[in-house]
Chain A
């Protein structure tokens, strides 16, 4: 019963997961860098984030092609099927997170010469929470751990609340001083991008639950 006539298939699946882990670390770096660049007003770094999004896009397509080739060659069933389906979804989620990093990079460029409204505190905090969710969603994937996935899923509320808080603060600032409207709007966009990053991490957590249990919450 321990015979494994499918060693090469198992190896291909393990390699796919490694590539997803690589993609996720590319994306995580891009998100952190985009927010650092925005806080420190470093246009050069914002430009880097924007340029590097192509690498993330390419990696996504590479992983997708491999998933499709595996489906065609192995015609996977049961746990194998769920694994490849989850990999495909997770890859798309990661690539979209990369797009949010690129979006924040573009906001960095738009803000370029303009003075700060106030030092950024909550946006970096949101970034930390969202990237932590991303890291833990990948940990859940690697360990096939539904409990970790469920925690990530639950943590999305914290990020949503922080987004609401940032949103209302910035609206107040705009009301008090209409000269800040453009800059405050940019910051709302950045916060919104981070809120979406957390949503995508939640999607990954859902895919882990599907992979392990066959059910999504």
Chain B
């Protein structure tokens, strides 16, 4: 049902890594063209949840995913679904900027070439770099190595690389934690701008960052058996001003975690 407010929906998700249960009974909807922040103490499974959303966990040996995750009402774990196709629609940006040791241009063009893109690659590269708020800084050195960029620029390049294949959802795992304050603000601004066109899910340890960039926030914790579960989710304004669960309150005010 394209056009509904929910773009991604997680129902009764349980994830195991071998014997270890990483997530239990997580149900959560992600809203279209909004930024949703996943917060919670280390080990609560928020990165695991993020990785399930575009089947990155397929790459982890012994990972077992149960439950249902639908993207535009299509079960992405259904037999016959190609995970690579899922990742074209649902891209990911990682904690550490990980540009390829190639030119700036070829970093952005990489996914297009891989997918046999037939259109105007230069145009897509420029558009993606503009959307990632990097174009003005790199337009005169597109054919220099991506490794010459600063950490903040590299992260925006990785975002441009993700945008080039025109995903609908962008998953971000601590996208600014390796950056200085200027680089962090650039990424946060970018996330706000990108939410006009994309739906964003971001994992962050930084409460103020979650409060600044997100429309919705979900708080996860882990149980005594260390399995992660969802405690509370809702509008960011409510979660950060008046959370309903005292565990959320304790976590975001730094009383534990």
Contacts and interface: CB of A to CB of B under 8 A. Distances in A.
Contacts of A213: 242
Contacts of A5: 254
B195 interface: no
A17 to B, nearest CB: 16
A82 interface: yes
Contacts of A79: 249, 253
B241 interface: yes
B255 A77 contact: no
A2 interface: yes
Given A75-B208, A77-B207, A77-B211, A1 B250 contact: yes
Given A82-B242, A214-B242, A77 B250 contact: no
Given A75-B208, A77-B207, A4 B241 contact: no
**Chain A at the B interface: mostly helix, strand, loop or mixed?**
loop
Interface in A1-20: 1-6, 9
A124 interface: no
A81 interface: yes
A75 B240 CA distance: 11
Contacts of B248: 78
A80 interface: yes
Contacts, number: 41
Nearest to A10: B255
B239 to A, nearest CB: 8
Contacts of B241: 77-78, 81-82, 214
Nearest to B256: A1
Contacts of B242: 78, 82, 213-215
A19 B207 CA distance: 29
Interface in A91-125: none
A78 B250 CA distance: 9
Interface in A162-201: none
Interface string A197-217: 000000000000000011100
B253 A4 contact: no
B219 to A, nearest CB: 11
B243 interface: yes
Contacts of A2: 256
Contacts of A215: 242
Contacts of B243: 78
A80 to B, nearest CB: 5
Contacts of B250: 1
A4 B256 CA distance: 7
B255 to A, nearest CB: 6
Given A1-B256, A5-B254, A214-B242, A78 B208 contact: no
A77 B240 contact: yes
Contact of A6 (B208, B249, B253): B253
A19 B249 CA distance: 25
| 9 nearest CB pairs, A to B | A214-B242, A1-B256, A6-B254, A77-B252, A77-B240, A78-B249, A80-B253, A75-B208, A78-B252
Interface of A: 1-6, 9, 75-82, 213-215
